[in-house]
Amino acid sequence: MVTDFSATDAPALNGMIGASSAMREVFDMTCRVANSTATVLLQGETGTGKELVARAVHELSPRRTGPFIRVNCGALSETLLESELFGHVKGAFTSAVENRTGRFEAAHGGSIFLDEINSLSYTLQVKLLRVLQEHEFERVGDTRTINVDCRVIAATNRDLAELADEGKFREDLYYRLNVVPIYLPPLRSHPEDIPALVEHFLRKYAEENGRTVTGASQEAIGFLKAYSWPGNVRELENYVERAVVLATGDSIGADLLPPHVRGEAPIRVGRAGKDDLESLCSDLVGRELRESASDGNAYARVMGLVERELILQVLRMCQGTQTKTASRLGINRNTLHKKIEEHGLQKDAR
Ligand SMILES: Nc1ncnc2c1ncn2[C@@H]1O[C@H](COP(=O)(O)OP(=O)(O)O)[C@@H](O)[C@H]1O
Ligand SMILES: [Mg+2]
């Protein structure tokens, strides 16, 4: 059975998908805070949509006509980050061959998004606190004070309160940033949003790749809902893109998902290359020849082992459904039933 997405009608915030109560709360908070000048702190694991929310806060605010500037505080060394944020004057340090405007100045009249704020050094934390409180700073190597009017949106994938408790993040800065916290839930906590997210990414990548993929099988959606998503929505997006590229029909089946998402053992029946099959067979043959007495029954026993492995793998792929397994294997249901008993696979079947 294939899920047809045409009837799905999930509310979207600035291109964001989610109808679960956790995501509705995120959207609600985003809309309410956008209209103010308050500092926003976005907390959540990687790939949960922090950057999308940051952009939405800017786009829905009266500053939308101003610039939106993003700085990844985790990507630069302390010295480079300081001059990136605040600018420098010629001669401030060896490579400062001319004056440079920092990102805070560039964000004047708009918003600055400080991503991975948890990696900010102590010195820069002090400087940022002053910008938040006094709206002023000096360029590196300069004495002239610059005033800026920009809204700060910060993001962290670590618990800042915990870092503050451990003395790794200034408590005063934490309180100053945490005026309006928005918590982005991990995807595993709202799997009910997965079908709509899949639809969204299917449309996006089908269009980008000139494909006509329009749906995903119930089985595929089942696996996606059960998976633990350490990389959250970003990881889901990658798998949907991959499936769209590999799809030959107009629907995504479970076979197009990576094996770990399908909860499958490492042997990939049906997609195994010649080498995989060869090594599987030689393992089984080796085991047989080593372990059993030479009673002249090797053929039946090796074929039995291969048969058992094949049935087990396909049963797992089909989540234990015997009808599906039989049709996938191309054998009759009664035959499969007998084989399941013969090989002691009852607990893998339903
Ligand atoms: N609710 C959502 N709806 C649609 N796309 C999303 C959603 N959340 C995240 N994404 C997508 O997932 C990817 C990662 O999101 P991003 O905002 O960069 O996450 P983070 O900054 O938390 O690591 C992006 O491509 C983004 O467009
Ligand atoms: Mg990010």
Domains of the chain: 21-187 (3.40.50.300), 190-256 (1.10.8.60), 274-348 (1.10.10.60)
* Ligand 1 site-directed mutation target among 42, 48, 52, 203, most atoms within 8 Å of CB: 52
- How much is the pLDDT for 346? 83
- State which residues have CB under 5 angstroms from ligand 2, the bound ion: 51
Rounded Cα distance, 61 and 349, in Å: 55
Q: What is the largest CA-CA distance in the chain?
A: 94
pLDDT band at 286 (very low <50, low <70, confident <90, very high): low
Rounded Cα distance, 147 and 276, in Å: 65
Q: Tell me what the mean pLDDT of segment 281-310 comes to.
A: 69
Whether pLDDT at 153 is above 50:
yes
Whether pLDDT at 171 is above 50:
yes
- How much is the pLDDT for 19? 94
* Comparison of pLDDT for 346 and 72, the residue scoring more: 72
Our answer on whether the CB atom of 49 is closer than 6 Å to any ligand 1 atom is: yes
Whether pLDDT at 110 is above 80:
yes
Rounded Cα distance, 73 and 118, in Å: 8
CA of 247 to the centre of ligand 1 (A): 24
CA of 84 to the centre of ligand 2 (A): 18
CA of 255 to the centre of ligand 1 (A): 25
For the chain, the residue count is: 350
Please tell me the number of the ligand nearest to residue 71's CA.
2
pLDDT band at 177 (very low <50, low <70, confident <90, very high): very high
Protein residue with its CA nearest to atom 5 in ligand 1: 16
> If you search the block for the tokens 């708009």, which residue do you land on?
110
Protein residue with its CA nearest to atom 17 in ligand 1: 49
Rounded Cα distance, 313 and 67, in Å: 54
Whether pLDDT at 198 is above 90:
yes
Our answer on whether the CB atom of 185 is closer than 6 Å to any ligand 1 atom is: no
* Ligand 1 site-directed mutation target among 234, 236, 240, most atoms within 8 Å of CB: 234
CA of 53 to the centre of ligand 2 (A): 10
* Comparison of pLDDT for 149 and 280, the residue scoring more: 149
Ligand 1 closest atom vs CA 155: 21
Our answer on whether the CB atom of 50 is closer than 6 Å to any ligand 1 atom is: yes
Our answer on whether the CB atom of 17 is closer than 6 Å to any ligand 1 atom is: yes
Per residue in 222-236, pLDDT (tens digit) is 999 999 999 999 999
pLDDT band at 137 (very low <50, low <70, confident <90, very high): very high
